[in-house]
Structure 1
Amino acid sequence: MLKKCTWLLLLLCILPIFGCGDQRILEDLGFIQTTSYDMLPNGELSFSVSIPQADPETSAKREVLTATAKSSKEARMIMSRQTGMLLVSGQLRNVLFGISLAENGLHGHLDTLFRDPSISSQVKISVVEGSAGELLIEDYKQHPRTGRYIDMLLEKEALGQTIPKVTLFNFARDFFDQGIDPVAPIIKKHGNNYITTNGIALFRDDRYVTKIEPQDALVFAFLKSNFREGQINIDLTEINGKKENVMFSSLISTRKVKVIRGMQGIEKVAYHVKVTGSVLEYIGDTRLNNDLERRELEQRISQYISKKADAIIALMKKNQVDNIGIGTYVRNRAGYEQWKKMNWRQELQKLPVECSIEVHIKDYGKFR
């Protein structure tokens, strides 16, 4: 019995020592949370990383390291010499690419991230309008940790469908798949005050080509996939001829894509989108409790969204990109042999794509 008590006492003495050892090791690790990539005018690459500070003896919330190098791994070695911590990538959450680098192609840089076994495929990809490094280095007064601020902003906006949630996996899947091009959210810095989302970047393969403006992002989401939850502000002044504004909320969107084949091959692609939602705010003369007038309002909203959808299709055709995956439906309908003979980007420019939007107002508030 005495022997058992001795071993138990010895174990209790050893455990605190192990605990202190673990704590000391964690404090010595630099967990990279966010990293940025920029192309400099001379063709070299600039890299920055944001590392949350766990040391209670320092008042700083994070440490930011910057290096200029030919590759991210070389930059990592340079930045390692600037800090007393051992840099690790296991907690990486966001990768930011400056727009100048995105225009030159991201495949090589994303390939490096994929090859690193410590980096999750769920790391979020974003394009920065301007310099990604400057956005990451800046301290925003109301947000002590810029990396966490960016991560929370992207998560929240993706829930409302104003931007797509694009991970390393999503981007690579669309890059390697035939019949669809990748997308990524765009963010930008406003002085020293805040960061905002600024639309959706459209890629041709791995190169940034053009963007969807923020006010049209939800219409793009209607075409790209089904979703629940979201809201859109609709200005019907141009359609109605007089001032009329609708805030359409609690949206549920479903779409069907039909590829119509004729004697000469694929004749056209038809998108039919059903949108159901609540009128959260309305400014205009329509009496929403009148069934006839409410149906007329639904038709005007449908006309508005259809016009925006046609403009998005025209933008993609002009830039020879297919970011909503029209090609995947054409490929499945035409068959593999015919698809392989197509130059899809050229075919897309002359292929008729029709968008039919059906809007239903499910309720319009408590006021009657």
Structure 2
Amino acid sequence: MLKVLRLFLTVALLVTVTGCGDQRILERLGFIQTTSYDLAPRKENESEQKLMISVTIPRPDSGSGSGSGSGSGSGTGGVNREFLTAISSTSKESRIILSRQTELQLVSGQLRNTLFGLSLAKQGIWKHIDTLVRDPSISPRVKITVVNGNAHDLLTKNYPFHPRTGQYIDRMLEKESLSQIVPKTSLYQFTKDYFDDGIDPIAPIIKEVGDSVKIDGIALFRKDRYIMRIDPKQSIIFALMRADITQGEISVDLSGENRNNEHVTLSSLVSHRSVKVTPRKGNFHVDINIKVSGSVLEYIGVLDLEKNKDRSTIEKLVSQYIRTDAEQLIANMQQNRIDSLGLGKNIRSTLSYAKWHKMNWPDTYRNIDVQCHVKVQIKDYGMFTK
């Protein structure tokens, strides 16, 4: 009996000691929620361009309701934030420098968003994303976002009614992605598109405007380099061409020849997109077929929505508007050799492995003939009747 008791106490002691060695006390951890990457200003004696990397960490409020020191922002609801910045050659080196600036142990398990300044995005961001992908503590659902300007300046600023800037940006992107205004680009999705030779990555782009942050469109990449931007007004059209959507809104100016001050807004958009590839001698012809249905949320004009003929006229005008803008976007992407719609994936499926890899797709893509065919259907136009 005595031997059994000694054995039990020994096992219990070993378990206790092992547990103590692996403890992480919550109050001593710094949960990084947002990080930004920028090119640091180059000094005269420096031969290489270094990185400026910043992180935000939420801190419990001591009760005063305001942060203290230059590294903290004022907060509400009992939460402040700590802001840390480092200039280094690599992101892992910056983590060591950042760790020296706080008494907390920095951990990345709560990282939600990664912001890249525009100047860095133009040079390429894959080596920084590669570092995130290799870290097992970072979720593949972390958002990738481009800042039209300096990401550090946007992240460090305090915005009225939004004390935690990182959370403000994260929630805004979540909300806008539901209405198809911006794509929901995660670490996983960007990496997947980067390695796929039939599509180029995309990401939302944001911009600081006064005392707020706004969505500034969609950033289009060639591999990992930012090339061009799609205006927010055209984001829904880009979404219709890229994939099926189940929610969205579009506002169309129908004014033109013999039509003055005529506008319509469609909501609750549901679309289906299909792509047909027709091989031709030395080239390809691609038809993008888009079927869209939606509800009339607002109409200003002389037509009567209760008449089938007038509703059909509006459907044709909206279809023509979407088709014209869609083909203009495609022309711009072809000029810049950016296949953000993934047409290469459709063409690749019609070829053998050898023929596809023998083809120089970026050059071929510039010369393919692409046509959009759009059919819009009005599901309903409200409950009011004359």
TM over 0.5: yes
Check if 1:97 corresponds to 2:89.
no
Q: Call closer, same or farther: CA 1:67–1:338 in 2, change over 3 Å.
A: same
Task: Work out the CA distance in 2 between the residues paired with 1:269 and 1:236.
Answer: 28
Check if 1:318 corresponds to 2:318.
no
8 Å contact kept, 1:27–1:55: no
8 Å contact kept, 2:57–2:83: yes
2:34 alignment counterpart: 34
2:215 alignment counterpart: 197
Check if 1:296 corresponds to 2:303.
no
Check if 1:230 corresponds to 2:241.
no
Amino acid at match of 1:208: Y
Out of 172, 183, 197, the position equivalent to 1:153 is 172
The alpha-carbon deviation at position 335 of structure 1 amounts to 2.4
Out of 269, 274, 287, the position equivalent to 1:270 is 287
Task: Work out the CA distance in 1 between the residues paired with 2:257 and 2:86.
Answer: 53
Out of 42, 50, 60, the position equivalent to 1:44 is 50
2:46 alignment counterpart: none
Task: Work out the CA distance in 1 between the residues paired with 2:37 and 2:284.
Answer: 43
Amino acid at match of 2:36: S
Task: Work out the CA distance in 1 between the residues paired with 2:209 and 2:257.
Answer: 33
Out of 219, 222, 230, the position equivalent to 2:237 is 219
2:140 alignment counterpart: 121
Task: Work out the CA distance in 2 between the residues paired with 1:338 and 1:86.
Answer: 52
Task: Work out the CA distance in 1 between the residues paired with 2:257 and 2:372.
Answer: 17
More helix by share: 1
Task: Work out the CA distance in 1 between the residues paired with 2:202 and 2:260.
Answer: 36
Runs of 4+ residues deviating >2 angstroms:
54-60, 238-241
Taking structure 1 as the reference length, the TM-score comes to: 0.91
Q: Call closer, same or farther: CA 1:217–1:350 in 2, change over 3 Å.
A: same
Where do residues 22-101 of structure 1 align in structure 2 (5 Å cutoff)? 25-42=25-42, 43-54=49-60, 56=62, 59=65, 60=67, 61-101=80-120
Amino acid at match of 1:118: S
Taking structure 2 as the reference length, the TM-score comes to: 0.87
1:11 alignment counterpart: none
Out of 351, 358, 361, the position equivalent to 1:334 is 351
Check if 1:281 corresponds to 2:298.
yes
8 Å contact kept, 2:32–2:111: yes
Out of 244, 250, 263, the position equivalent to 1:245 is 263
Q: Call closer, same or farther: CA 1:159–1:223 in 2, change over 3 Å.
A: same
Classify the secondary structure of the residue corresponding to 2:144: strand
8 Å contact kept, 2:33–2:57: yes
Alignment gaps of 5+ in structure 1: 1-17
8 Å contact kept, 2:58–2:82: yes
Deviations 1:149-180 (CA, angstroms, capped at 9, x unpaired): 11100100000100000000000000000110
Alignment gaps of 5+ in structure 2: 1-18, 43-48, 68-79
Classify the secondary structure of the residue corresponding to 1:140: coil
Aligned residues: 346
The alpha-carbon deviation at position 95 of structure 1 amounts to 0.2
Classify the secondary structure of the residue corresponding to 1:333: coil
2:3 alignment counterpart: none
Task: Work out the CA distance in 2 between the residues paired with 1:236 and 1:345.
Answer: 36
Check if 1:110 corresponds to 2:129.
yes
Task: Work out the CA distance in 2 between the residues paired with 1:128 and 1:338.
Answer: 39
The alpha-carbon deviation at position 349 of structure 1 amounts to 1.2
1:4 alignment counterpart: none
Classify the secondary structure of the residue corresponding to 1:228: coil
The alpha-carbon deviation at position 52 of structure 1 amounts to 0.6
Deviations 1:171-225 (CA, angstroms, capped at 9, x unpaired): 000000011000000001112x111111000000000000111000000000100
Task: Work out the CA distance in 1 between the residues paired with 2:285 and 2:336.
Answer: 19
Classify the secondary structure of the residue corresponding to 1:269: strand
The alpha-carbon deviation at position 311 of structure 1 amounts to 0.8
8 Å contact kept, 2:283–2:367: no
Amino acid at match of 1:314: A
1:258 alignment counterpart: 276
Moved more, 75-84 or 216-225: 75-84
Task: Work out the CA distance in 2 between the residues paired with 1:347 and 1:111.
Answer: 29
Check if 1:343 corresponds to 2:360.
yes
Amino acid at match of 2:95: R
Percent identical across equivalent pairs? 50
Q: Call closer, same or farther: CA 1:143–1:159 in 2, change over 3 Å.
A: same
Classify the secondary structure of the residue corresponding to 1:366: coil
Check if 1:183 corresponds to 2:183.
no
